[in-house]
Amino acid sequence: MNRFSYGMKITVPEGFEPTLERVIAALKDNDFGVLTEIDVKATLKAKLDEEFKRYVILGACNPKLAFRALSAEEDLGLLLPCNVVVYETTVGTTVGVIDPAIMSTLTSNEILADVAAEASQLLISAIGQVEGSRVG
């Protein structure tokens, strides 16, 4: 898993569609629902008539954690849901997740740090599940 300043990602050799399906299943297994699914390729084609690789942004939400976070700070909805990206590369498919700990750096609310840590662990588990379930 490759970590960077605002998230983490993996690249698997499998194709886009099976990886997207595995990501959605792994999120569900870790108590996240997918509230939104943005097909960036289709959107850019429709709005700009531009070609782009297959790229999907999933808005993932763990209802229990979202409730705790919003109860602690109602404006936190500006940072929800957690974004997960799935996109084609020349060597397979990349899956990236936002690090929810970023939200706790934007506020001094200690409750949010705990919620963010729990969300981070669940997202790490989900991305690890996708990486561990690779075909071949």
Model pLDDT, residue 135: 47
Q: How far, in Å, CA of 123 to CA of 101, rounded? A: 11
Model pLDDT, residue 3: 87
Residue 25 maps to which CATH number?
A: 3.30.310.70
Question: pLDDT tens digits, residue range 14-46?
Answer: 999 999 999 999 999 999 999 999 999 999 999
The alpha carbon dihedral of 7, 52, 14, 86 has a sign of positive
Model pLDDT, residue 95: 98
Q: How many structural domains is the chain composed of?
A: 1
Model pLDDT, residue 136: 42
- The structure tokens listed for 78 are 């500006």
Show the domain range for 121: 2-132
Total-model pTM: 0.92
